[in-house]
């Protein structure tokens, strides 16, 4: 067996530890806190009901990680975590978002913090509990380095977890970031009781926004129609287990953002990504993402945001 190190014992990191073991690897899972308790119970509190298989050991010292490392932490924590890694040859990033302040995508953060490391992103329409349970799923490994893509696929793929390669990491990352913001809008529309027609229209127009931004930032439009774009968007905008969709759902029902976030332990990436995405967009027409950012920071109400979207000038699709 070969060894894979996973940074982050949240739901996704735990699911990937299970998947990596299923694929035949020895796995080291780093937990920021509670490592001894997780090791003893063989269960992460962030993914209850899923027992860690024998090849997985849990540690609390991040400096011990080496070799191929999978970073399953939120985008806003990624820089700090990568800075603590000292012996990484190959890096796989699972974060989906844009760093507030610097407006960098995950691989751009990695290039700045670990410039000598070969990196890829793992992204796609995946809920952690389904991956951990071994239900069928597919994902994308995106990197400009073909050998890296092939190495990750060889190490993580199983009959129930199909991996595709992509040489468009920009497109793959933009899809992962933007879909979280659009999912908040889809949840808000559903929570407000505006119907399935409205949600379908919003998802479709959101995909158009995602495509425009991808091309401007140097990605390819066809990537948007794949697993890292359309696939992830559909899952996140319709699946009740989506943190971003459920946050929007609560907003649509009249709850405040403060109260919603106070009741959560897990990070909802779309909240920090929405304003960063707009700032990075550099004038790209993104009315849905703009409406979400306004809703989150209190500049607009849901009714006003919907009214503004519906009042946009008529034009061909």
Instruction: Point out the residues that are catalytic.
Output: 179
Q: Cα 31–37–38 angle (5° rounding)?
A: 55
The total number of residues written for the chain in this structure: 317
- Where are the extended beta strands (E) located within the chain? 3-7, 26-30, 56-59, 66-71, 87-93, 118-123, 137-142, 161-166
Angle between helix 196-216 and 269-281 (nearest 10): 50
For residues 126 and 123, what is the distance between their CA atoms, to the nearest angstrom?
8
User: Residue 156 in 3-state DSSP?
Assistant: helix
Cα separations (Å) of 48 from 99, 132, 137, 262?
A: 29, 11, 20, 21
Q: Cα 298–296–292 angle (5° rounding)?
A: 115
């Amino acid at each position: 067996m070969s060894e894979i190190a996973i940074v982050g014992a949240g739901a996704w990191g735990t699911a990937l530890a299970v998947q990596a073991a299923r694929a035949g690897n020895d796995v080291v899972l780093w937990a920021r806190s509670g490592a001894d308790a997780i090791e003893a119970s063989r269960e992460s509190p962030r993914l209850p009901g899923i027992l860690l298989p024998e090849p997985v050991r849990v540690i609390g010292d991040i400096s011990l990680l080496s070799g191929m490392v999978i970073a399953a932490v939120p985008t806003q924590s990624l820089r700090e975590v990568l800075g603590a890694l000292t012996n990484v040859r190959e890096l796989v990033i699972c974060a989906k978002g844009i760093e507030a302040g610097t407006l960098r995508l995950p691989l751009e953060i990695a290039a700045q913090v670990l410039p000598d490391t070969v990196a890829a992103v793992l992204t796609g329409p995946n809920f952690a509990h389904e991956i951990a349970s071994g239900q069928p799923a597919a994902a994308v490994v995106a990197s400009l380095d073909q050998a890296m893509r092939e190495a990750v696929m060889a190490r993580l793929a199983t009959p129930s977890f199909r991996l595709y390669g992509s040489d468009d990491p920009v497109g793959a990352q933009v899809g992962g970031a933007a879909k979280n913001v659009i999912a908040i809008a889809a949840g808000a529309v559903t929570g407000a009781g505006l119907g399935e027609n409205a949600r379908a229209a919003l998802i479709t127009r959101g995909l158009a926004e995602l495509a425009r931004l991808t091309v401007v930032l140097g990605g390819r439009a066809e990537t948007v129609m794949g697993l890292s774009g359309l696939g992830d968007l559909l899952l996140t905008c319709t699946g009740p287990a989506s943190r971003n969709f459920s946050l929007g759902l609560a907003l649509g029902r009249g709850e405040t953002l403060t109260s919603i976030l106070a009741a959560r332990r897990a990070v909802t990436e779309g909240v920090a990504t929405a304003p960063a995405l707009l700032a990075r967009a550099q004038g790209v027409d993104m009315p849905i993402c703009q409406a979400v950012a306004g809703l989150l920071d209190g500049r607009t109400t849901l009714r006003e945001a919907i009214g503004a979207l519906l009042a946009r000038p008529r034009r061909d699709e």
